[in-house]
Amino acid sequence: MEVGPDPAEVGRARRWARSRLAGSGIAADEPLADTLVLLISELVTNAVVHTGCPAVLRMLFGPGGAGAGIVRVEVADRSTCPPRQRRADGGDTHGRGLELVDGLADRWGWQPEGGGKRIWCEVDRSGPVLSAVVREPRACGTRAYSPDSAPRPVANST
């Protein structure tokens, strides 16, 4: 899905994700659906707010389709600035996006791509899905992969 550099695009991305999940057999009331929509919302928000550039959102289902395996979310944008995870203080109104991604996804990372970057996260359907609980932050890193290949486990696993 192409995402324009407009904050209203975040809501459109959430609706697109819910529609795609429903079409893949993941019910709207499943914790996995809520988790994936939140992850998409955070990654698209970062692209729209921090880069001011158009982006491309992708959702990939690993072997076994939506019912099994890994669900991968990717957002590619034209900014070369790397994402920066920070720790927001209690009263801060911004700065929790990547902390949420780190807590909810099983793995996440980013890599330069062409004149921009791609940030991604993965949720493994075979493990427990966290919908409201954020785990402690862990180290993240850059991992290269082929964007056309099926999602596969990479570093930063729990």
* Structural domains counted in the chain: 1
> What DSSP designation does 73 have?
E
Please, which pLDDT band fits residue 27 given cuts at 50, 70 and 90? confident
The 10 Å Cβ neighbour count of residue 87 is 9
Q: Compute CA distances 52 → 6, 11, 44, 59, 116, whole Å.
A: 8, 16, 11, 22, 12
How much is the average pLDDT of 109-113? 93
Please, which pLDDT band fits residue 9 given cuts at 50, 70 and 90? very high
Inside any domain, residue 50: yes
Inside any domain, residue 48: yes
Inside any domain, residue 120: yes
Domain assignment of residue 116, given as a range: 2-124
CA-CA distance, 7 to 3, in Å (whole number)? Answer: 10
Are 38 and 30 in contact by the 8 Å Cβ rule? The answer is no
- With vertex at residue 17, the alpha carbon angle to CA 19 and CA 86, rounded to the nearest 5 degrees, is 165
- End-to-end Cα, the chain, rounded Å: 29
User: What pLDDT score was predicted for residue 129?
Assistant: 53
Residue 146 scores a pLDDT above 60: no
**pLDDT digits 0-9 by tens, 37-90:** 999 999 999 999 888 889 999 999 876 555 567 899 999 999 998 887 666 556
Of 65, 47, 60, residue with least CA distance to 151: 60
Inside any domain, residue 152: no
Inside any domain, residue 73: yes
**What CATH number does residue 15 fall under?**
3.30.565.10
Inside any domain, residue 106: yes
CA-CA distance, 150 to 8, in Å (whole number)? Answer: 30
User: What pLDDT score was predicted for residue 62?
Assistant: 78
Inside any domain, residue 140: no
**pLDDT digits 0-9 by tens, 121-131:** 999 877 655 44
